[in-house]
Each structure stands twice: as C-alpha cells, then as structure tokens.
Structure 1
Amino acid sequence: MEHIYLDNAATTPMDPAVIETMTQAMRTVFGNASSVHFFGRQARKVLDDSRHLIAQSINATQDDQIVFTSGGTESDNTAIIETALARQSQGKHLISTAIEHEAILKPLKYLEGLGFEVTYLPVDQQGLISLADLKEALRPDTTLVSIMMGNNEVGSHQPIHEIGQIVAASNAWFHTDAVQAYGLLDIDVQADQIDLLSTSAHKLNGPKFLGFLYRSNRVKIPSLIKGGDQELKRRAGTENIPAIAGFAKAVSLLDSKTKAAKQAKYAELQQQLLRGLKTNGVDFAVNGGQSPDKLQHVLNLWFKGCQSVPLLTNLDLHGIAASAGSACTAGSVEPSHVLTAMYGATSPRLQESLRFSFGSQNTAKDITYLVDVLTKITQKLKRS
C-alpha cells in the first residue's frame, strides 16, 4: 500500500543533508562546548558557527541573541513566563490571541493563576486579529504582547510588521511564536521590531527536541531552566552539538529563493486539491483565508456532514496521514480552539474538519491519490 505523509505541520522528515551533518558531528565532535581543552574548543566552534548562521537568518544584530533551547515549547514558555515575572513591577497585564498554540496558552493560564491579567484578542474568519483591537487592548501596565506569526491549524499569517510598530510605541515587549513560519517566510527581527521569537528545528526538516529563542538586547530575563552557565548564562544544560549542527544545516538550505519556491509549490498543491474536490462534487469549504501571504503548507478543510475521526481513520487505512488539528492536542476530545475562535462553539466545522499540511516530499501524484480517496470516503460516510 502506498503511504503518503500530509501532516508536515506536526513534524517534518529530516533532510538527508541534515542527517549526514549530524552523523558526522556525532562521530567526530563529542566534547562539551564548555570545556577549555581541544575537544571542548572543537565543539564550541560548531556551536558558535551554527549560532552565527542562525542569527543571520533572522537578521539578528548579534550572535548571542540566539539562545538554543529544547524546542518551541521551551522557547515559548521562557518568553511568556520569565518576561511576566521579570517585569511584574511594571505591570501585570499581558496580551495574546485566542488561536495561539498551547505552548503559549497554558503558560498564560498559569500566570493568570498568579494574579496576572490576560487579554485574548479575537480573530475573524480568516484567522486574523484586528490591529484596532490590539491598540485598544494596550495599557500602561501591559508588559508583553505575544502573537504568533503563522497559525499551525489554518495557516493564517498575522501582520507582524504592523504589530511590531504598534507594540514598539508602548511599554510592552513583543514576542512571536514563529515555529510554523520559520523556514517558509523571510523574517527580519529588526525591521519588525520583534523582541522575542520562538522556533523549533523539526518543523523545517531538522532534528526534534531543539529550537532557539531570539532575545533582543533590551530583553533581560533569567533562564527558565536552572543549572549551569551554558548559552552565556541564558539557558542551563549541556548543548546538543550534533543536533545544533543539524539545525544550522537545515537553515542553510533555506534561502529566500528556496522559501519562496516552497510556498509556491505548496500553493499549487493546495489548488490542485481544491480543484479536484470541486470537480468530483465533494461538499467542502476552506477554513480560514486563501491569501497569497498565508502559510501555504497548511490547508484546513470542512467536509460537510462527515465527522473528523471517521475521515482520519479511513484516510489512514488508505495510507494517508493527515490530522484534525494540532498534533500537540491529538487524542483530545475537545474541539479545536482555533476553529472555535474563528467560527463559534456551535459550528459544525469543529467536528467535521481536517488539516492537510504539505512538505518538500509531496508531489502532484500524492494529491491526485488524495482526491480520489477523499471522494470515495466522503461519499461512503454520507451514505452511512
């Protein structure tokens, strides 16, 4: 049976060049980067070179603004919790959105339990916030605004540049979760006036359990992880040198031209899927917008009258991997909080939608097969 992976927003397969880079590092670079002898210096060079390349990828002004972490979740938690605690003497009001990843929402709930106040900005049916709402929500005691760059369930791309300008005129710091966007969109932390930015390597064909947190020079927060003085005292724990080398390799493969080509390819796969479903008479609608600047690798579809779980089960039986939302909430009986925010708690979309997310390995042939299988499955589910 043919197996097709269409869940790249959950994780991506490692690029062969990344695997080769990591394998070579595991064979030859085993020293602790904090050690002063030859083996430590050897590891330190890999660490420093990787940090430099990654800093350049987002136009950071200094290499030491990049702090390696265990991934997007730790980066998000550090940015949210440590900023709130470090700045609480200046205010205890935070702003975010209703469609953030759980790695943002759960730290915010934790802080609410400590007496912080959080404003959750609503979104429209395109999955976008209103800049007017943001301006209205900002207060003198607002210390942090955290708004994701690109949504992992519907692909909406927030107006980050405009948000950065608005927040820069306030007392708050601006954090963005760029886990889905990094590797697909060009990011300039200076032009967009971003203070904190989170990423995860496994979303761009790199290794799992690794990411980074960008921190601008004005951000002074302690490490969430307590221990040694690694990462210039910004994140305790011995650095995973082979994985960091692999992360840097993955980033080196994604220049502006390559990212634009990926977006164009995924947009065409989206259109092929939509055309095929329409031609075959499948009753569906797109969740979210179709703007050219969205994250084109994410397509969320409402299959009217067909429950998500049977759809997923039948797709899996035909060798197709997709999802009903974020992989981090897989197995949850709760409806998607993203679709709830966009369409309301009573919308049938909440129980009848699937997310397809494309990757570099996907082809037009994959989509042709997907259209054929979806047509048969939806027809069967409608009859039953």
Structure 2
Amino acid sequence: MEKLVAKGIGKLVELKQLYRDKFRTGGTEKLVEYLVASVGVHKNHANVIASFIKDAVDKELESSGQASQAKKRLTFCVEGNISVGKTTFLQRIANETFELRDLVEVVPEPIGKWQDVGKEHFNVLDAFYAEPSRYAYTFQNYVFVTRLMQERESANGLKPLRLMERSVFSDRMVFVRAVHEAKWMSEMEISIYDSWFDPVVAELPGLVPDGFIYLRASPDACLRRLQMRKRPEEQKVTLDYLKGLHEKHEQWLFPTTPSPNSVMSVKEWLPTLHQPPPRIKDRVFYLKGDHVHSSIREVPALILDCEASIDFSKDVEAKAEYARQVADFFEYVKQTRNVEAGVRDNLLLPAGRPILGPDGLVLRP
C-alpha cells in the first residue's frame, strides 16, 4: 500500500482506472508486471491484486448499459393519509410542471386492480370497507401483490425519477398496523403477513425506495377532501379512522421530538459533506428507530405541508413551488448517493487508514 501511494495511486478507483486504460487488453500479466517492476510489490501480492482488480472491472463493465442506467434511476414513494391529495399531487404537479415533466415517471396506486379482481370482477377494496374484520387480511395481501406487480412493470423506465404512490412500507407500518389494532386482523394473520413480508422485501430490493415524500395534512382536512371526491368505497371511512392513520404516518415519517430516540435524524456526517438546498433544508430527515423496517433506515424523507386546499389549475405559482421542492430533493438524493459511492470507492482497502471525503475531510479516523 505504501508503495502504491508513493506511486501516486492512493485510491482503489485509481488503480481500477489504470487497469482499464493501460493493462486490460493485456490481461492481468501486464498489471502484475507493472506492480512488480515499477511499484515494487512482491509477485505473489501483485497476482492477488491484479486478479481482484480484473474481477472488479469486469463486473463493472458487465453491469454497464441498461443495468447501469437502472442503478442511476431514483425511486421516491409518495406517502400520506387517505385523501390527503396524493393523486392530485402526482397528476398536476409531477406531470404538468416545467420543473418535473421531463424528469418524472408517475406510477399511481393500483386502485383499479383492487376494484376489479378476476373473471368475476370482485371489488376487494369495497369488500374491505364493507366488512373489514372479514377482508382486512385478504385485502392487505392483495395490495402487496399488486405493488410488486407494479414495481416490476415500471422498473425499466427511462426517466431519471420514478414517483410511486405509496409503498409496501406504508402498507406494513400504517395500514396493517391500523387493522391489527382495530382487531380486524388476528394475531395469526399478522404473524403470517410478517413471515413472508421480510424475506420477500429482502429478495426484491426494487421495492426499497431511494426516498419518501410525505404529504402532511390534518385528519380533518383529509376528511373534507374525502367527502368532496365521493369515492363510493370510502363513504364508510370515519374521522377516527383517519386520525389513527395520521398518527401512524407521523410516528413513521415525521420527527415529533428532537431527542436521540426520535423517529428520524440527519446522518452524523452527511450534512458536513452535502447539505440539502436552502428551499428544503428544514424539510429533509432520515428514517431512524427500531420500529422502522431495517431496509429503509436512514432513507431520506421530504415533508411537504398539504394542509391548505389549493386549486392547482389556478394557482400556478403554488404548483411550481411544490415541483421545485421535489426537484431539489431529487438532486440532493442523487448527489448524496454519489458522495456515499465516492466514500466507498475513494480509499485504499485497509482498516485503520483514514477515510477521506471528496474534499479531503476525514470521515473516519
């Protein structure tokens, strides 16, 4: 390592680039020869290093093209209470604003699939609201399946940002919790749900978003909007039910206290390297806590205030302001991922050596 540093190769990424530029056509033999003759590395060590670098570069090249584009693409899940305005937000703000229309692919919640199941055209959404104690488990299972189908169907889009309406995590941390607490889902049923939820999510990383957007409004505001849109299946939804869902969203996505045990906090070192833009600086947090599913801990969330009822067909500036905040959040998450990738790649391998950020800042002694 000291010999490599003396030759000006202080980062793993630099050694891989050297192999790509000068030695790849000649295979590992040329790299071994260089490491022995020019750097002074023992031949056995040079063989190990060259083999590792070749494998790493080959894997990177194999994953280029479409796979590489898929990795660069970001997914945000838009969360919020029933009738908070998610559909309006996605249709009017994401699709109709200059800031987002070329950036975003919108994936709406698959409500149509819940209203029309199988050859008999069963409406499982209506069945759940009509008899929640009978159909809660059936409905939540089918919701998960349709979200999985939706993720697969939209996985290969070309636009840089995929906005999905809700996620399997809001299903589990809000709605499944709510029906279980209401005793509409038994202990046996929630145990069965959890027994397959964790392993399925672990095997399907596409279900884990790069960020969340929480549309936040009071239960009273949500009830007013629910009554205005008059979706037939929702007429039995009560204010108490909306309050329970609101509390669960808050526990999951909003930092109610500044204590170390709060739901979310900013990463310890990340703000030093890369802070959110001023427009959203006080609206971005990171999921934290033992109650948060392990796959989404430290995933960022953008909190947007949606208490006021806004007519986006008339208030063009309000619509544009929401779009700018989403665009800023996209740029922030994208740059943060680049910073984290640089931290992983920018250093030589040994433990105990300093880990340096892009500007030379020591991240770990």
TM bin, normalised by shorter chain, reads under 0.3
Bigger relative contact order, structure 1 or 2 (CA pairs below 8 A, ≥6 apart): 1
Q: Which has the larger radius of gyration?
A: 2
Length-normalised TM-score, structure 1: 0.23
Length-normalised TM-score, structure 2: 0.24
* Greater share of helix: 2
